Amino acid sequence: MEEIFEVIGVEHLKTILSNLSPEEIVKPAYDNWFPTQKTGHTILDLETGEVRGLSIEHNQMPLQSMMYIELYTIKSSDYPIEPEEMLSKTEYEEFMDFMEDEPSEFAPDMVSIFCQENDIDEDSRNIGILAYRFSTTDQQNYNMWESAILNKYYDKTDENHNPFKFNQSSL
């Protein structure tokens, strides 16, 4: 028995995409990313139009009952932001001094500990940097970004109606 999904229309999808800020795109993926354990995704639920996060462990398959497309991903193996990028020059120098006292510790954990001890909002800074990168790379040419998302939409819903793809029979 084939499952039938009622999905949002293309115009609704375009409206959702045009109203999303870079932060709204990267934050759900960041919130669902667990280094070395889970890949964080920002997804758009094609049935409801809701944008939310999804966390998937290595070798885990997402639920087939979910009809969604990915908008943004941070892989479990990624450490997308280096301490010297997140911290100011002075903070980074202090961090390096801090690391001298703890040479055997794992660096990403030490960044978090340093941030906590120095009242630095690590998550906010990381999300801001990721959002900036997203806006200057993926979203800089909005039409290309939107077309890539639309291609995912057409692939997920009905390949035969994708105006951006050609097969041998359509040529």
* Three-class DSSP labels, 17-45: HHHCCHHHHHHHHHHCCECCCEEEEEEEE
Helix (H) or strand (E) holding 56: strand 51-57
Could you give the CA distance from residue 102 to residue 160 in angstroms, rounded to a whole number? 58
List, for residues 9-59, the tens digit of each pLDDT value: 899 999 999 999 999 999 999 999 988 889 999 999 999 999 999 998 866
CA-based max dimension of the chain: 67
Question: In 3-state terms, what secondary structure has residue 69?
Answer: strand
Nearest residue to 69 via CA among 154, 139, 136: 154
| Domains of the chain, start order | 1-78+141-171 (3.55.40), 79-137 (no CATH)
Could you give the CA distance from residue 70 to residue 27 in angstroms, rounded to a whole number? 13
Six-digit token pair at 49?
């139009």
- Strand duo 38-45 + 68-74: pairing: antiparallel
Give the model's pLDDT for residue 54: 92
Six-digit token pair at 77?
């193996």
Instruction: Tell the residue number behind the tokens 């009905």, with chain if given.
Output: 158
pTM: 0.81
Question: In 3-state terms, what secondary structure has residue 100?
Answer: helix
Q: How confident is the model at residue 1 (pLDDT cuts 50, 70, 90)?
A: low
Give the model's pLDDT for residue 167: 44
Question: In 3-state terms, what secondary structure has residue 73?
Answer: strand
Question: In the predicted model, is pLDDT for residue 117 greater than 90?
Answer: yes
Question: In 3-state terms, what secondary structure has residue 52?
Answer: strand
